[in-house]
Chain A
Amino acid sequence: MLEIKDLHVSYGQIAALKGISLSVPDHAIVTLIGANGAGKTTLLRTISGLLKSKSGSISLGDSELTKCAPHEIVAKGIAQSPEGRMIFANLTVMENLKMGAFLRKDTDGIATDMEYVFSMFPRLKERHAQQGGTLSGGEQQMLAIGRALMSKPKILLLDEPSLGIAPILVRTIFQKIVEINHNLGMTVLLVEQNAHMALGIASHGYVIETGKIVLEGEASWLAANEEVKKAYLGSV
């Protein structure tokens, strides 16, 4: 279980997260929805250790993560597919995936997981020798997710996997997220602007606004909530 308590993060003088508390139970898909600049990416980056928190705690099981370096957090089993995908543009698809397994030493396990990623995203297998930067947006997103999976994490952090890709691909990618959760039992924390899709696959959801959690609850309840509908789902 990933547990965040009263987390404060600021960029210089500007407070980005003002006391976030949130928990992600094992094997669940939890989503965090919110508008641009609400602090979603800041939260994920802080969990991964890429940003330092001012106060509060992030714990995974018994270990406290706020004092850990990013590579230690990866080693503890948290992998992130970052916003904007951040593919290694000059490395091939294969090399990108191998980078995901950078801290692993079990060659056999890496090969098995590579096969799994390829079976899930056959497109990546077709393009395994191609440079990451030459892939389309959707393919890069698949690669980013695949790369995160390669570290064999306990918890997968996904930062806006629907950003900038074709609607039909968004559907495919969300299906794959459900698949990963279902088949591998992997815990997923999904950050999204596309609240409709995110609440569709998550069991639990949080709504973040200007650095604070303003609503939380079961995903289906949130999806039906009038406030959420008006703000994030559009009045359908």
Chain B
Amino acid sequence: MRPQLIFALIFAGLIGLSLVTGKIDPYYYTVIIFIGINITMATSLNLINGFTGQFSLGHAGFMGVGAYVSAIASTFLTTHGLGTEVMGGVPVMAIALLVGGLAAALTGLAVGIPSLRLKGDYLAIVTLGFNEIIRVIIQNVDFKIDGISYVGGARGFAVPQLSSFLWVFGIALVAIYFVENLINSTYGRGFLAVRDDEVAAEAMGVHTTRFKVRAFVIGSFFAGIGGGLFAHFIQYITPDNFTFLKSIEIVVMVILGGMGSTYGVILAAILLTIMPEALREFSEYRMIIYSLMLIVLMIARPQGLFGSETFTRFFAKRKAAANKV
């Protein structure tokens, strides 16, 4: 079966599922939505960390930029005529997500150009620091338009409810489809080449800095949209939602899933969202068990759940195996 067809089928399935989400227990529904958002976050970070090999620890920062900017956009629009009643809130959400994504992408560009000259640990430290800078900036921003408070600094920012199952998983699907197609294109192979050997990639004619910045910008764009989905789901965001701990959480998903394996990263995003919830009954031992499970998983599968397998390669291999028989 062709990947396009599979994606189309999954999308149709999502529409079907979205009709029954109202009947799900709200707690489970929340977990499901977080799974979808985390898939988008992890898939986009995988483009930077997994496929391009640039270790970023600032993904939550971009998520925060997207969350706040999209929330500003939706709050402004809903109080200026384009309310949630217009076509079920679809236009306002679409605009808010797009603006949030673009703002995050622009931030990614601004951060990426100077810092992507650095490698490995140094880049990780810079992106980590940047994550905190964004958080601190948000903490100190607070303004009013027509008497309505925006951003709200450390107090937090109330956001209209606009996210839905279909939005969250539709976007996740778009992110997966986009990243997979990019990586399997002739152009996208440049990202993999940068990861495997930067000098050789440069000797082959790959403009390595440009590729790194592109991965960063695209990854940030989807992180921003993920932030927008998050903000419009939980309806109340504070800067503390986007600390570097959130970044690390996403990095863990990428590493556990297998750097550069979209397949594995999706599975890890699902697993790591469910695990802390499933462990709730252990109350105070929850995080200990969670950490232990991570350690065991990492020892058992150091290459990640799926190694470096990708969707398309997986299908290509299956096809090859089927042809042999």
A residues near B, CB below 8 A?
Answer: 48, 50, 69-71, 74-75, 79-80, 82, 86-91, 95, 98-100, 102-103, 129, 132, 147, 151
Cα–Cα, bound, A89→B192 (Å): 10
Task: With both chains docked as a complex, state the minimum distance between the C-beta of B189 and any C-beta of chain A, in angstroms.
Answer: 6
How distant is the Cα of A100 from the Cα of B201 in the complex, in angstroms?
A: 9
B-side contacts of A98, CB under 8 Å: 186, 189
Q: In chain B, what residue has the closest Cβ to A86?
A: B200
Of the stretches B18-26, B171-179, B202-210, the one at the interface is B202-210
A102/B200 in contact, CB under 8 A: no
B260 at the interface (CB under 8 A from A): yes
Q: Could you say which of A90, A95, A147 contacts B308, with CB atoms under 8 Å apart?
A: A90
Would B196 and A70 count as touching, CB distance under 8 A?
no
For the complex of A and B, list the 3 residue pairs with the smallest distance between their C-beta atoms, beginning with the closest: A74-B205, A86-B200, A88-B196
A74 adjacent to B204 (CB under 8 Å):
yes
Q: Are B260 and A71 in contact (CB under 8 A)?
A: no
Which of B272-325 touch A at CB < 8 Å?
308, 320
Q: A91 touching B206 by the CB < 8 A rule?
A: no
Chain B positions within 8 Å of A102 at CB level:
186, 189-190, 193, 204-206
Contact A74 B201 (CB under 8 A): no
Using Cβ atoms and an 8 Å threshold, which residues of chain A touch B199? 50, 82, 86
Are B202 and A71 closer than 8 Å at their CB atoms? yes
Chain A CB within 8 A of B195 CB: yes
Neighbouring B residues of A151 by C-beta, 8 Å: 204-205
Which of the residues A50, A74, A99 comes within 8 Å of B193, measured between beta carbons? A99
Q: B198 to nearest A CB, angstroms?
A: 9
B121 within 8 A of A: no
Complex contact B189–A91 (CB within 8 A) = yes
Distance (Å) between the CB of A84 and the closest chain B CB?
9
B203→A74 contact, CB < 8 A: yes
Residue among A70, A129, A151 having the largest count of chain B Cβ atoms under 10 Å: A70
| A129 and B192 form a contact (CB under 8 A) | no
Interface residue? B142 (CB, 8 A) = no
- Nearest CB on A from B314, distance (A): 14
The 16 listed contacts between A and B (C-beta, < 8 Å) are A70-B203, A71-B205, A79-B203, A82-B199, A82-B203, A86-B200, A87-B197, A88-B201, A89-B196, A90-B195, A90-B260, A95-B192, A102-B189, A102-B193, A102-B206, A151-B205
Closest Cβ–Cβ distance, residue A187 to chain B (whole Å)? 17
Q: Who on chain A is nearest to B320 by CB?
A: A129
Residues of B within 8 Å of A86, CB to CB, are: 197, 199-200, 203
Q: How close is B12's CB to chain A, nearest CB, in angstroms?
A: 33
Q: With A91-B189, A99-B189, A102-B190 given, is the CB distance from A71 to B206 under 8 Å?
A: yes
Residues of chain A within 8 A of B201, CB atoms compared: 88, 99
Q: Which residues of B contact A70 (CB under 8 A)?
A: 202-203, 205
The distance in angstroms between the C-alpha atoms of A161 and B204, with both chains bound, is 17
Residues of A within 8 A of B320 (CB): 129
